[in-house]
Amino acid sequence: MNDLDAENRLRFEQLVLPHLDAAFNLARWLLRSREDAEDVAQEAFLRACRFFRGFHGGDARAWLLQIVRNTCYSWLGKNRPRELMVEFDEELHLQPVATPESIAIAGEGRERLNRALESVPPRFREVLVLRELEGCSYKEIAAITSIPIGTVMSSLSRARRQLHSALANSSHKEAVSEV
Amino acid sequence: MRCDFADSLLHGYFDSELSAPSAAEFEHHLQHCVHCAVELVDLDLLSGQLQVAQLYEAAPASLRKKIRINLRPVAPTPAPSSLLSWRWVAAAALLLVAFVVWRVIPAFHGEEDYQARFATGIVDAHLRSLLPGQITNVNSNDPQTVRAWFEGKVKFAFLVRDFADYGFSLRGGRVDVVQGRTVATLVYASGEHLVNVFIWPTRQQDADPLAGSRQGYQWIDWRKGKIEFCAVSDAPTSDLQQLQRLFTN
């Protein structure tokens, strides 16, 4: 990160560093693990630093999240390539990567949503996270995910439907197990 | 039953991302489509669930710390080498102190010395002028006469004016030697005070008045048009400032 001179370092601290939470949150949901997210978010920041000279104003959050997303996908391709091939088929076949920490802090309802969201394939999970958790506009989502702005709405539509059925599925399972 | 509108506009409407005409079109549709109305409520429920669950996960402090460390100009190194770097810092500090002692402090002293020497020279010249018979070489309240007298005695030109109307009446002029340089002096009377205005050429830029005092005498110095002026008197500084303004107008 020492590629930056004093002036750019200050700019980086003012423009990019404030979006550290957004970067971590996206990485955490794409990787479904806090530990992996910490490593990958750090790697993404190193990369952001290296290419900061190429950033000429504009939306710093969208710029950073783009880098985080690409770093996450490259990490997934290397470490869990199967996850990227998964297409949602209304069944939960992504096993949750639950750490003791995440279980300890998770309430019951939260844990159910957590599992449901994690069961949605990454390409749809990311638009849900960006829209519902990060509050990004369609335009920002399009910039971050490199999908056409016209496709953002249909992606969200599909993603929400998948989350909805994942939740319905899990409550159905709960209902069955209670009987 | 699904509705064509559901996929194309419903989510954009829910997210407030539709253009005004599209939103109006969808609202019109909504009045007749129960399916979309229900779906809209479902979307709201889902979104609400996500918010309530607080799924947003902020960066842990450890990550923040790691990134901050990486951003520092010099990354922290293990103890032995950091000791080494402290030694370098100490050496650099010593060098800096040495430089200040060698160059900066003498420079300040030089400035103070110059001021002190300057004030001494001017006030001494003023005191000399107060000795009997020394105050003027040309005794006149007529500016033309005084100016004519200076011609050939000093090699620079300056205006001679009487300011009697403002409380400073011209008494005359003389030529002094102050610190080795030839200086033209105009003498004014202000009430019971005598004021010497020393005038000599300079290469320096114009400068705002600088006032000081020495041995109970006040002086005020300013530069204008490559000429330096210094008025000295036992009159109050405010009087000298008034005279200075008359000179520069």
Q: Is the pLDDT of residue B182 over 70?
A: yes
- Considering the domain boundaries, does residue A136 fall inside one? yes
Cα gap B62→B66, rounded to integer Å: 6
Residue B69, token pair as written in the block: 């460390």
pLDDT at site B199: 93
Query: How far lies A137's CA from each of A71, A153, B207, in Å?
Result: 22, 11, 60
Q: B47 CB near a chain A CB, below 8 Å?
A: yes
Q: Percentage of chain B surpassing pLDDT 90? A: 31
Question: Considering only CB atoms, which chain A residues are within 8 Å of B66?
Answer: 42
Q: What are the pLDDT digits (tens) for B81-124?
A: 555 566 677 777 777 777 766 666 555 555 555 556 677 778 88
3-state secondary structure labels for all residues of B183-195: EEEEEEEECCEEE
Q: Reduced to 3 states, what is the DSSP secondary structure of residue B208?
A: strand
Contacts of A32 in chain B (CB under 8 A): none
In angstroms, the separation between the Cα of residue B168 and the nearest Cα of chain A is 58
Burial B42-57 (b: 16+ CB within 10 A, else e): ebeebeebbeebebbb
- The side-by-side arrangement of strands in the sheet containing B181-190 is B138-139, B169-178, B181-190, B193-201, B227-233, B217-224, B207-214
Residue of chain B whose Cα is closest to the Cα of A152 = B12
* Whether residue B197 has pLDDT greater than 50: yes
pLDDT at A83: 81
Q: Any chain A CB within 8 A of the CB of B20?
A: no
Contact with chain A for residue B2, Cβ under 8 A: no
The alpha carbon of residue A29 is apart from the nearest alpha carbon of chain B, in Å, by 9
Q: Is A122 among the domain residues?
A: yes
Q: What is the pLDDT of residues A129-178, one digit of tens each?
A: 999 999 999 999 999 999 998 889 989 999 999 998 888 877 666 555 55
Contact between B221 and B232 (Cβ < 8 Å):
no
The sign of the torsion formed by the CA atoms of A92, B58, B62, A126 equals positive
| Whether pLDDT at B142 is above 90 | yes
The answer as to whether A29 is a domain residue is yes
- Tell me chain B's radius of gyration from C-alpha atoms: 41
Given a contact cutoff of 8 angstroms between Cβ atoms, the answer to whether B211 and B218 are in contact is yes
Q: Which of A25, A107, A153 is closest, CB to CB, to B11?
A: A153
pLDDT tens-digit map of A66-95: 999 999 999 999 898 888 876 544 444 455
Residue A106: predicted pLDDT: 46
Give the C-alpha separation, B17 to A59, whole Å: 18
| Amino acid B75: pLDDT | 45
Q: How many domains does chain A have?
A: 1
In this predicted structure, the answer to whether residue B76 has a pLDDT above a threshold of 70 is no
Residue A78 located in a structural domain: yes
Provide the number of CB pairs (under 8 Å) joining chain A to chain B.
100
Q: How confident is the model at residue A38 (pLDDT cuts 50, 70, 90)?
A: very high
Hey, what domains does chain B have and what are their CATH numbers? Answer: 4-52 (no CATH), 120-248 (3.30.200.100)
Query: Are the beta carbons of A126 and A26 closer than 8 angstroms?
Result: yes
Tokens encoding B149: 């007298």
Question: Inter-chain contact B60–A6, Cβ cutoff 8 Å?
Answer: no
Is the CB of B7 less than 8 angstroms away from the CB of A154? Answer: yes
The alpha-carbon gap from A58 to the nearest alpha carbon of chain B, in Å, equals: 20
Closest CA of chain B from A149, distance in Å: 11
Q: What is the pLDDT of residue B50?
A: 84
Q: Is the pLDDT of residue A39 over 90?
A: yes
Backbone angles phi, psi at B163, to 5 degrees: -115, 35
Share of chain A above pLDDT 70, in %: 80
Percent of chain A with pLDDT over 90: 48
A160–B43 CB contact, under 8 Å: yes
In a domain, A129, yes or no: yes
Single-letter amino acid, residue B61: A
- For residue B100, what pLDDT is reported? 65
CB-nearest to B63 from A41, A134, A157 is A41
Domain that holds residue A172: 6-178
Within an 8 Å CB–CB cutoff, is residue B16 touching chain A?
no
Q: What pLDDT, on the 0 to 100 scale, is given for residue A75? A: 93
Per the prediction, chain B carries an average pLDDT of 82
CA distance B44 to chain A (A): 11
Distance CA(B211)–CA(B218), nearest Å, equals 7
- B64/A20 Cβ within 8 A: yes
- ipTM score: 0.79
pLDDT band at A99; cut points 50, 70, 90: very low
- Structural domain contains residue A1: no
Question: pLDDT tier at B230 (50, 70, 90 boundaries)?
Answer: very high
Amino acid at A8: N
pLDDT (tens digit per residue) in A5-32? 878 888 898 889 999 999 999 999 999 9
- Report the gap between the CA of B28 and the closest CA in chain A (Å): 20
- pLDDT value, residue A63: 94
Specify which residues B172 forms β-bridges with: B139, B187
Radius of gyration of chain A (CA): 17
Interface test with B, best of A14, A133, A136, A137 (most B CBs within 10 A): A133
Contact B57 A24 (CB under 8 A): yes
With contacts defined as CB-CB under 8 Å, which chain B residues touch A114? 53, 55
Confidence of residue B137 (pLDDT cuts 50, 70, 90): confident
SS3 of residue B168 by DSSP: strand
Instruction: Tell me whether residue A50 is in a domain.
Output: yes
Least Cα separation, residue A24 to chain B (angstroms): 5
Residue A106's CATH number: 1.20.140.160
* Mean pLDDT in residue range A34-60: 90
The answer to whether A153 contacts B49, with C-beta atoms less than 8 Å apart, is no
Chain A partners of B43 at a C-beta cutoff of 8 Å?
160
Whether the predicted pLDDT of B80 surpasses 70: no
**Single pTM value for the model:** 0.53
Q: CA B9, CA B43: separation in Å to the nearest integer?
A: 13
Terminal CA-to-CA distance of chain B, rounded, Å?
94
End-to-end Cα distance, chain A: 57
Q: Comparing A56-65, A95-104, B6-15, B62-71, which segment has the lowest mean pLDDT? A: A95-104
